[in-house]
Amino acid sequence: MSQIPAELKYVSSHEWIRDEGDGVVTVGITDHAQELLGDVVFVEAPEVDNEVEAEEEIAVVESVKAASDIYAPIAGTIIEVNEELEDSPELVNSDPYGDGWMFKMQLADVADLDGLMSAEEYAEEIADE
């Protein structure tokens, strides 16, 4: 059974979002997503300072098996990427909600956070898959 921390928000494309306050969020992929992918061997990070729309393809995670797009879960600006992943992409598998985080965003509108899924809603969503 994959972990779904209660304090995070989620989108159906399997990214998690942590509210860091001041309109900043951290984004990664869920435990469920990393399980589906298998061993992650390459992460193509988004570009810092890029303004992105919700659901825009902005990064790529590649496992041995396949490449998967990572979507911006919410509109905003990329302000930081996890540079550790360049040399240690396996962190996405071993610690998806911690050291395996992908990027930070400055939100265009903090109110957008209210439209995201709760842990419970995400758990229901993946149970239906």
Partner 1 sequence: MANKTPLYQAHVDAEARIVDFGGWDMPLNYGSQIDEHHAVRQDAGMFDVSHMTVVEVTGAEAKPYLQYLLANDVDKLQVAGKALYSGMLNEDGGVIDDLITYYLTDEHYRVVVNASTRDKDLAWMENVAQQFAVSVEERTDVAMIAVQGPNAIDKAQSVMTDEQKAAVAQLKPFVAAQAGSLFVARTGYTGEDGYEIMLPDEQGIDFWNQLQAAGVKPCGLAARDTLRLEAGMNLYGHDMDETVSPLEANMGWTIAWEPAERDFVGRKALTEQKQAGAARKLIGLVLEDKGIMREGQEVIANGEVVGVVTSGTMSPTIGKSIAMARIKRDINEENLLIQVRKKQLEAKVVKPCFVRKGEALV
> Whole-number minimum distance, CB 100 to partner 1, in Å?
15
Residue-wise over 72-106: b if at least 16 C-beta within 10 A, else e?
bbbbbebeebbeebeeebebbbeebbeebbbbbbe
| Integer Cα distance of 112 and 46 in angstroms | 21
| Integer Cα distance of 114 and 119 in angstroms | 13
When asked if residue 39 is in the footprint of partner 1 (CB under 8 A), the reply is yes
When asked if residue 38 is in the footprint of partner 1 (CB under 8 A), the reply is yes
Give the rounded distance of the alpha carbon of 55 from its chain centre.
12
Site string for partner 1, 42-81 (x = CB under 8 A): x-x---------------x-x-xxxx--------------
Cβ closest to partner 1, residue 35 vs residue 121: 35
Q: Which stretch binds partner 1 (CB under 8 A): 38-46, 47-55, 77-85, 117-125?
A: 38-46
Cβ closest to partner 1, residue 44 vs residue 125: 44
- Cα dist from 122 to 20, 74, 91, 95, 126, whole Å: 20, 16, 22, 19, 6
When asked if residue 109 is in the footprint of partner 1 (CB under 8 A), the reply is no
Residues in touch with partner 1 (CB under 8 A): 35, 38-39, 41-42, 44, 60, 62, 64-67, 93
